[in-house]
C-alpha cells in the first residue's frame, strides 16, 4: 500500500497512534517480565521502583495517550543496563520486532502533538485475524491482495478459499530462525507445559510452505517465496548463531 498507493492519509496515521503506544508499552513490559524469568537484575536498583510504577501507569493509561510520567518511566527503564541485557536475549521470550524502534524514539512518539509516520505505521504489530483485502495497480495491472491470518488457529478459515488464485506470496521472516511461535509459548505457560514442545518459527514456516506447495487447491498456482526482515536478520546473526535453527550448519 505504501509503495504502490498513496500510503496512509494523515487521518489514518492518527488512528494508529493507539497501536504505536500499545506496542511500545507491551514491549517494555515484556522485557521487564522476562528479566524475572531470566534472573537478570537491574543495573540500577532504583529501577525496580520504576518497574512497579510502569505496571500501575500502564494499567491506568487511556487508549491513544501516553502521559509524561509514563514516558519518563519507560525511558529510564529502557536506558538501564539490565534491561538492555534482557533485550539482547529477546530470542528467549516473545518480543515485538519493533520494540527497539519505538523505545529508541520515545522522545518523539511521546509528544502530545505526535502523529505516526508511514514508517511508524509499517512497524506496528497487529495480529491478523480473518482476511484483509487490498487493491492496487502496478504497470497498468490491477492486483487484489489478500492478507490472511498466519497463526495456526486462523489457517482453517482461509486455506480452502483461494483455489484458482494467480499467485501466492509466501512471506517468511529471516529473523525468525531463533524464535518460537507465540502460540506455543502461550500454551507452554499453562498447565500442559511439561507435555508441550516449543516449535521453532522457521521450522513451522517450512512445514506450512511445504503444505501450501503440495496442496491440491494450488496445483496450478504460482508460488513466490518472499524472505523479509533482512535488516533484523543481519543484526541478529552477529549474536545469535544459525545453529539454533539448523544444528548441522557449519558455516
1 known ligand binder: no
37 known ligand binder: no
C-alpha 169/C-alpha 184 separation (Å) is 25
46 known ligand binder: no
96 known ligand binder: no
151 known ligand binder: yes
23 known ligand binder: no
**157-165: Cβ within 8 A, 24+ apart:** 157/130, 157/131, 158/131, 159/215, 159/217, 160/217, 161/131, 162/217, 162/218, 162/221, 163/217, 163/218, 164/220, 164/221, 165/218, 165/221
229 known ligand binder: yes
Residue 169 is placed in which grid cell? Answer: 506470496
231 known ligand binder: yes
Beta pairing partners, 133: 146
150 known ligand binder: yes
238 known ligand binder: no
C-alpha 192/C-alpha 18 separation (Å) is 34
7 known ligand binder: no
149 known ligand binder: yes
In contact, 54 and 32? CB cutoff 8 Å: yes
148 known ligand binder: yes
124 known ligand binder: yes
22 known ligand binder: no
236 known ligand binder: no
C-alpha 31/C-alpha 47 separation (Å) is 13
Residue in the block written with cell 499467485: 167
In contact, 148 and 170? CB cutoff 8 Å: no
C-alpha 102/C-alpha 79 separation (Å) is 13
228 known ligand binder: yes
Radius of gyration of the chain (CA): 20
Binding residues: 97-98, 122-128, 147-151, 228-231
Binding residues for GTP: 97-98, 122-128, 147-151, 228-231
Binding residues for Mg(2+): 128
Amino acid at each position: 500500500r505504501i509503495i504502490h498507493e498513496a500510503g496512509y492519509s494523515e487521518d489514518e496515521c492518527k488512528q494508529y497512534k493507539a497501536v504505536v503506544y500499545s506496542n511500545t508499552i507491551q514491549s517494555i513490559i515484556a522485557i521487564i517480565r522476562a528479566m524475572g524469568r531470566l534472573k537478570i537484575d537491574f543495573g540500577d536498583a532504583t529501577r525496580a521502583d520504576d518497574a512497579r510504577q510502569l505496571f500501575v501507569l500502564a494499567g491506568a493509561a487511556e487508549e491513544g495517550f501516553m502521559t509524561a510520567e509514563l514516558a519518563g518511566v519507560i525511558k529510564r527503564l529502557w536506558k538501564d543496563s539490565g534491561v538492555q541485557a534482557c533485550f539482547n536475549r529477546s530470542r528467549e521470550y516473545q518480543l515485538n520486532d519493533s520494540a527497539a524502534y519505538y523505545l529508541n524514539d520515545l522522545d518523539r512518539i511521546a509528544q502530545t502533538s505526535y502523529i505516526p509516520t508511514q514508517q511508524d505505521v509499517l512497524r506496528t504489530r497487529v495480529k491478523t485475524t480473518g482476511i484483509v483485502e487490498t487493491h492496487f495497480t502496478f504497470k497498468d495491472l490491477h492486483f487484489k491482495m489478500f492478507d490472511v491470518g498466519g497463526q495456526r488457529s486462523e489457517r482453517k478459515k482461509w486455506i480452502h478459499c483461494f483455489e484458482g488464485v494467480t499467485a501466492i506470496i509466501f512471506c517468511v521472516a529471516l529473523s525468525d530462525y531463533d524464535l518460537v511461535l507465540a502460540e506455543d509459548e502461550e500454551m507452554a505457560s499453562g498447565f500442559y507445559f511439561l507435555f508441550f514442545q516449543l516449535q521453532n518459527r522457521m521450522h513451522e514456516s517450512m512445514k506450512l510452505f511445504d503444505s501450501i506447495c503440495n496442496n491440491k487447491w494450488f496445483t496450478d498456482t504460482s508460488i513466490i517465496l518472499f524472505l523479509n526482515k533482512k535488516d533484523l536478520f543481519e543484526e541478529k546473526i552477529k549474536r545469535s548463531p544459525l545453529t539454533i535453527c539448523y544444528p548441522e550448519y557449519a558455516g
